[in-house]
């Protein structure tokens, strides 16, 4: 591609979740289409057509592109198809995020009404945890050193942990599961993953500080020691 679209870095960093990936790749195509006014070289659009076809096949998506007739591709028709798919994907993303919000709040209020012992985060702690989780998701998705199977496992544990950590939460089992998985990845793939390790460390310090406060323990073990057990 001569134009700054569909770079290798962009394609390698597409989200693992299909709906999120559809939105990202549609936005990229719209950017190209608008930049060229629907024009641009045939070779560029043939390359993009090949990218989109490969994306649909690799993700086993249930829609297809209109047939191409090289050197021409139906550029406007592709815009319409992708726009329809993006609208449907955004609806599913909204439903997914709404369900997540409902589950999160339901768990939080169950803990309050049942008077269960819970770990309570301040607004600043909770907001920072959410920021760290979002940064970790982005870094993990873009990490080229982490193999696909490790990346998928790590992202699943990250999502599970996010669903578990509320402002008031009675269970932190999934936090430990994520930390353990992150520790394995850190030890296996080395210091090049320091941006991920740094955020896991900060996340661990916040959560463990809350645990220690609740349990009345003064000494706070460094999460780094947990992640780098000899």
**Above pLDDT 70, what percent of the chain?**
88
Rg of the chain on CA atoms, in Å: 22
**Above pLDDT 90, what percent of the chain?**
32
Q: Given this model, what pLDDT does residue 117 score?
A: 65
Q: Indicate whether 2 pLDDT > 80.
A: no
Domain ranges across the chain: 8-88, 117-227
- Name 6's Cβ contacts closer than 8 Å, sequence gap at least 6: 28, 32, 47, 48, 51
Q: Which residue has the higher pLDDT, 98 or 216?
A: 98
The band of 103, judged by pLDDT with boundaries at 50, 70 and 90, is: confident
Q: Which residue has the higher pLDDT, 13 or 222?
A: 13
Task: Please choose, from the candidates 165, 93, 108, the residue with its C-alpha nearest in 3D space to the C-alpha of residue 136.
Answer: 165
Q: Given this model, what pLDDT does residue 51 score?
A: 95
Q: Indicate whether 23 pLDDT > 80.
A: yes
């Amino acid at each position: 591609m001569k134009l700054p679209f569909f770079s290798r870095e962009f394609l390698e960093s597409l989200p693992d979740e299909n709906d999120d990936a559809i939105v990202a790749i549609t936005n990229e195509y719209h950017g190209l289409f608008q930049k060229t006014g629907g024009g641009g070289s045939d070779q560029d659009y043939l390359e993009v057509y090949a990218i989109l076809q490969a994306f649909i096949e690799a993700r086993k998506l249930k829609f297809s592109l209109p047939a191409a007739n090289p050197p021409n591709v139906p550029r406007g028709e592709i815009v319409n198809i992708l726009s329809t798919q993006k609208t449907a994907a955004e609806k599913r993303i909204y439903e997914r995020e709404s369900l997540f919000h409902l589950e999160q709040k339901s768990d939080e209020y169950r803990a309050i009404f049942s008077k269960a012992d819970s770990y309570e985060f301040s607004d600043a702690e909770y907001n920072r945890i959410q920021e760290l989780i979002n940064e970790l998701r982005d870094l993990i998705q873009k990490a080229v050193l982490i193999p696909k199977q490790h990346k998928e496992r790590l992202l699943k544990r990250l999502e599970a942990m996010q669903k578990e950590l509320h402002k008031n939460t009675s269970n932190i089992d999934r936090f430990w599961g994520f930390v353990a998985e992150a520790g394995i990845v850190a030890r296996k793939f080395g210091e090049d993953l320091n941006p991920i390790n740094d955020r896991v460390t900060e996340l661990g310090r916040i959560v463990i500080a809350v645990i220690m406060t609740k349990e009345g323990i003064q000494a706070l073990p460094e999460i780094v020691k947990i992640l780098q057990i000899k």
